[in-house]
Amino acid sequence: MNKGFVRVAAAVPDLKVADCSYNILKINELLQQAENDKVQVICFPELSITGYTCADLFFQQQLLHDALEALNELQMATFSTTAVAIVGMPLHVNGQIFNVAVVLQGGHILGIVPKTHLPNNNEFYEKRWFTSSTETNVKTVLVNGQQISFGRDLIFTDGVFSFAIEICEDLWVPIPPSSQHVLHGADIIFNLSATNELIGKHNYLRQLIEQQSARCISGYVYASSGYGESTTDVVYAGNGIITENGKIVAASKKFVFEPQLVVSEIDVERLQADRIRNSNYFRDKSETEYRYIKIEDAHFLDFKLKRKFEIHPFVPPLATRDANCEEIFSIQMGGLAKRWKHTNAQSLVVGISGGLDSTLALLVCVKTADKLGYDRKMITGITMPGFGTTDRTYNNAVSLIKSLGVTLKEISIKSACEQHFADIEHDASVHDVTYENTQARERTQILMDMANQQNGLVIGTGDLSELALGWATYNGDHMSMYAVNSGVPKTLVRYLVDWASQQLDKHSYEILQDVLDTPVSPELLPADDKGEIAQKTEDLVGPYELHDFYLYYFVRFGFSPEKILFLAKNAFEGMYEDEVIEKWLKVFLRRFFAQQFKRSCMPDGPKVGSINLSPRGDWRMPSDAVAFTLES
């Protein structure tokens, strides 16, 4: 594998029914094309050497002989290729005919897998011609003078990744063979198929493949017959589909009257990471014995991914934006509503800075109050201008609080901080970490004491990205009584606030849009000469979209720094220079490890997505672990 990826292909060749010479020529053309594309495993459709629609011609000795001759020709052709090729054909074994998948590599036939479930309905009468794998005890067959492993119990492996095979109808039954294959170590399932087209069937097929891939935590490569098949009664459109753990990463076009080769990569390392984290995913301990067939690793040094990765893995697609945003808000609201009612708090206290995070927290509070039927005045939004507060953020904070109809409180922290500087003998002209953290802790003290005064709860505003980087003052903005944003990364915060702005009146919309346009900043250092924000977070720790990308793959899958760098270069190609991506990845690793102590005592808060950093559940890590490094 290359960085955990295996390049696979689903091939839909040109075909003539019962013309094995023609068919093997077209198969070989796609095999050579796949070789040029550095494909490691290529799958052809069911009975691709003869055609699926031969019907009673399968009983003809000539066709069975021609299929073997064509297979021999293909076997010879694979001497000059490195890819593993999987082709379909009829095979005569001990007086029975089997619908089989033949696996070849480097001039050798590695194994033959017979079909298990044979359709016998109005469209297909396979039981008329073929025998199921369950009706034979044959373990090896003689093919073109070679003794070859034969059976549905074959898994092909290079010692790092493994694959197994099922054929068409096998997928459509209640318990597909692939469900057993993956429990015996198969990472990818290849399906040789001949699925005809009917109204609505294509969408159902895609859903079926996605579901089986997700259920098995596997890659799934599906190659189905195309336009060359007989159209006597049904029509074949040609389906090449490559799926990874429930998500289609590449697919062919339907009804294309020419050969198609669908090529992409499957991240086997990602699949294996998910499996080891799933306590219900375990190797089958039944008496069923599998045989493991050795394949050679086709390792390409100049490997470059064909598939592209989303730059914002936490952000849902725009097509489902309304449903996703409503669901995320509902999770945050559900968590806060339970805590509010359980504590019988008389108010919620939120520090409003005019920035993204506090805006989202206030919106959650307002929506929760509305859901519970509480007066919005039970929410106190406190703006606490300090030495770095700009007119822009101050005005946005005040305007937002007023527009949402919550209680407004303004308390300047300047004099309190100046008194504290005098108490600890700190020179206020020295703008160091003490200068900054004094302000953050003074704000937290105000919020906590105001909550005590009102029998209320302090609602935290810090987000998941800040927790990952430790971008919070310990026992300052790090602390609250319930942290509604703790499961929401910065890229998703922006997405949610933008969506929420479109659900409000024009005035509130304009305020939120300006908040979105404001640079992310804690505003703990004085403004510049123009009165604008001088302290910009992303200038100091790096772009949040990069850090969220690193966080996702580091925590969700446990990828190595080198693998994350590889993916980031793919995703952000043309947006950031490679050196910039590497620089901020090093910062992420250093900060993530060094700041664990803040996460070890973080407040309660709702988990929203697949990643959370709560020490009580999703992320448990010693605070003094040695940081991973990025190899140069």
Task: Determine the pLDDT at residue 584.
Answer: 97
Element (DSSP H or E) covering residue 272: helix 268-277
Residues with Cβ within 8 Å of 533's Cβ and at least 6 positions away in sequence, in order, are 388, 390, 392, 393, 518, 519, 521, 523, 527
Q: Where in the chain is the domain with CATH 3.40.50.620?
A: 318-537
Residues with Cβ within 8 Å of 373's Cβ and at least 6 positions away in sequence, in order, are none
Q: pLDDT band for 526, please (50, 70, 90 cuts).
A: confident
Q: pLDDT band for 533, please (50, 70, 90 cuts).
A: confident
Q: Is the pLDDT of residue 522 over 80?
A: no
Instruction: Please tell me the least confidently modeled range out of 79-93, 103-117, 295-309, 456-470.
Output: 295-309
| Residue among 227, 228, 258, 254 at smallest CA distance from 240 | 254
What share of the chain has pLDDT > 70, as a percent? Answer: 97
Q: Strand (E) positions, 56-167?
A: 84-93, 96-105, 108-114, 140-143, 146-149, 154-157, 162-167
pLDDT in tens, 340-386: 999 999 999 999 999 999 999 999 999 999 999 999 999 999 999 99
Residue 439 vs residue 530, higher pLDDT: 439
Q: Is the pLDDT of residue 12 over 80?
A: yes
Cβ(57)–Cβ(18) below 8 Å: yes
* Residue pointed to by tokens 């995913």: 281
Q: Is the pLDDT of residue 615 over 90?
A: yes
* Rounded Cα–Cα distance for residues 445 and 475 (Å): 9
CB-based burial, 482-498: b 16+ in 10 Å, e otherwise: bbbbbbbbbbbbbbbbb
CA dihedral 405, 609, 266, 165 (to 10 degrees): -130
Cβ(189)–Cβ(178) below 8 Å: yes
Mapped onto helix, strand or coil, the DSSP state of residue 496 is helix
* Spacing of C-alpha 281 from chain mean position: 19
| Residue among 135, 102, 97 at smallest CA distance from 116 | 135
CATH 3.30.300.30 is right for the domain spanning 318-537: no
3-state helix, strand, coil split of the chain in percent (to 5) is 40, 20, 40
* Rounded Cα–Cα distance for residues 461 and 488 (Å): 10
Segment 496-513 shows an average pLDDT of: 94
CB neighbours of residue 464 within 10 Å: 28
Q: Where in the chain is the domain with CATH 3.60.110.10?
A: 5-294
Q: Is the pLDDT of residue 544 over 90?
A: yes
Task: Determine the pLDDT at residue 101.
Answer: 98
Q: Is the pLDDT of residue 316 over 60?
A: yes
* Residue pointed to by tokens 């999987």: 86
Q: How far is CA 215 from CA 184, 209, 535, 558, in A?
A: 15, 10, 47, 21
Q: CA neighbours within 13 Å on the CB side: how many for 497? A: 28
| Residue among 412, 498, 472, 511 at smallest CA distance from 599 | 472
CA angle 254, 259, 261 (to 5 degrees): 85
> Bridge partners of 247?
244
Task: Determine the pLDDT at residue 422.
Answer: 97
> Bridge partners of 472?
none
* Rounded Cα–Cα distance for residues 596 and 560 (Å): 18
Q: Is the pLDDT of residue 519 over 90?
A: no
CATH 3.40.228.10 is right for the domain spanning 5-294: no
Annotated catalytic residues are 46, 115, 168
Instruction: Please tell me the least confidently modeled range out of 13-17, 148-152, 518-522.
Output: 518-522
pLDDT in tens, 32-72: 999 999 999 999 999 999 999 999 999 999 999 999 999 99
Segment 298-327 shows an average pLDDT of: 86
Segment 269-274 shows an average pLDDT of: 95
pLDDT in tens, 431-481: 999 999 999 999 999 999 999 999 999 999 999 999 999 999 999 999 999
* Rounded Cα–Cα distance for residues 347 and 369 (Å): 10
Q: Is the pLDDT of residue 168 over 90?
A: yes
Q: Is the pLDDT of residue 284 over 80?
A: no
**Radius of gyration of the chain from its Cα atoms, rounded to whole angstroms:** 31
Mapped onto helix, strand or coil, the DSSP state of residue 225 is coil
Element (DSSP H or E) covering residue 349: strand 347-351
- Give me 112's structure tokens: 């033959």
Mean pLDDT of the chain, nearest integer:
93
pTM, whole model, 2 decimals?
0.91
* Rounded Cα–Cα distance for residues 624 and 466 (Å): 19
- Give me 411's structure tokens: 């308390």
* Residue pointed to by tokens 């009257």: 257
* Rounded Cα–Cα distance for residues 319 and 312 (Å): 15
